[in-house]
Amino acid sequence: MIFDTHAHYDDEQFDIDRAELLGQMEAGGIGTIVNAGSSVASWDKIIRLTEEYPFIYGAVGVHPDEVGELDEGKITRMAELLERDKIVAVGEIGLDYYWDKEKHDLQKKWFIRQIDLAREKHMPVIIHSREAAADTMEIMKDHAAGMNAVIHCYSYSPEMAREYVKMGYFIGIGGVVTFKNSKKLKEVVREIPLESIVLETDCPYLSPEPFRGKRNSSLNLPYVVQVIADLKETTCENVIQTTDENARRLYHLEKGTMTAGGEL
């Protein structure tokens, strides 16, 4: 069964058919989903999803575009939520210099603060980094050494991917790898070990071909699996099994945790 390490089923785009869609996951080969946080408002929605669906786990954090809403009171609440059994990571957190909604210094401050909280709680981090390659790498080296982490929606060079792999981090690969113009990301997949790759959707965003531009869901991950299998010259079954094992190492989810098909 496929493990989707990064989804946003709390997003309003799923309000019209969320229950129906999530009810299709087992039949679609999707076993486990981690729903990542993006804003303070997303946290309660994520908690409800983890309570309603045995196969959904959550992460709480604040996306760099939203860090203007953070203060120490909200960090205290985040710390409380991280004690819940089905909250498995801090994220998504990081830097975004593409949209540039918040000043860089403010983004860095709260990125580091959320990493520090994750370290205090012995939890992994989900890293968002867009057009902020050097600053992200510097902060990860200075503040996240030895931690479990995934570089979500990886968009940088193969050389930097290899550096992250050396640091022990996972690389998140989703629908973009299926795009015809994604030559750099395809090279990343070829060059790094399969044992360092995790699957993700970032749904409702970043649908793979042939659904590019439409709402994404975990049910589209077999298209990503096929491209990775072709690039790695292996089977889809091997990609699914290995990335599932990788995701469980990332999130400290052992055998025996709940999936869409029941207990694993």
Could you report the per-residue pLDDT of 79-102, keeping only the tens digit for each?
999 999 999 999 999 999 999 899
Residue numbers of the domain that contains 10? 2-263
Query: For the residues 178-190, what does the mean pLDDT come to?
Result: 97
Is pLDDT of 213 > 70? yes
**pLDDT given for residue 100 in this prediction:** 87
Contact 122, 110 (CB under 8 A): no
User: Three-state DSSP class for 58?
Assistant: strand
Is pLDDT of 31 > 70? yes
Angle at 170 between CA 166 and CA 176, to 5 degrees: 120
Is pLDDT of 16 > 60? yes
Q: In CATH, what number is assigned to the domain containing residue 45?
A: 3.20.20.140
**pLDDT given for residue 254 in this prediction:** 79
**pLDDT given for residue 256 in this prediction:** 55
Query: For the residues 154-173, what does the mean pLDDT come to?
Result: 98
- Read off the tokens for 92: 């998504």
**pLDDT given for residue 12 in this prediction:** 97
In sequence order, the β-bridge partners of residue 151 are 127, 171
Provide the whole-model pTM: 0.96
Q: How confident is the model at residue 255 (pLDDT cuts 50, 70, 90)?
A: low
pLDDT for 100-126, tens place per residue? 899 999 999 999 999 999 999 999 999
| Total domain count, the chain | 1
